[in-house]
């Protein structure tokens, strides 16, 4: 069984940095429709889970948690 990695103090900072890099890439490539980036992000996300040997059921649990975390963005509109 694969163990979850331990959190590091730098995780939030590095996550924000990765997000800003991705966001800039999206802005730098307007020829790619905004909605298509979702597919690219999902593919990268799944690839990361596979390379980390995280089982599918853990991916599903993490996905459900992420859905709940981001839900308020739609509710606040």
C-alpha–C-alpha distance, residues 2 and 32, integer Å: 36
Q: What is the overall mean pLDDT for the chain?
A: 92
SS (H, E, C) 12-45: HHHHHHHHHHHHHHHHHCCCCCCCHHHHHHHHHH
Q: What is the pLDDT of residues 11-33, one digit of tens each?
A: 999 999 999 999 999 999 999 99
CA–CA separation, 63 and 58 (whole Å): 8
pLDDT of residue 69: 93
Task: Give the residue among 50, 48, 54 at the shortest CA–CA distance from 2.
Answer: 54
Position 1 scores a pLDDT of: 59
- Structure confidence at residue 2 (pLDDT): 64
d(C-alpha 19, C-alpha 6), whole Å: 21
Please tell me which residue, 4 or 33, carries the higher pLDDT value. 33
pLDDT score of 76: 83
């Amino acid at each position: 069984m694969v163990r979850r990695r331990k959190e590091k103090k730098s995780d939030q900072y590095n996550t924000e940095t990765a997000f800003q890099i991705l966001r800039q890439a999206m802005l730098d490539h307007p020829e790619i429709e905004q909605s298509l980036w979702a597919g690219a992000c999902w593919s990268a996300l799944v690839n990361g889970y596979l390379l980390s040997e995280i089982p599918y059921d853990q991916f599903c649990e993490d996905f459900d948690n992420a859905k709940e975390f981001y839900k308020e963005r739609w509710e606040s509109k």
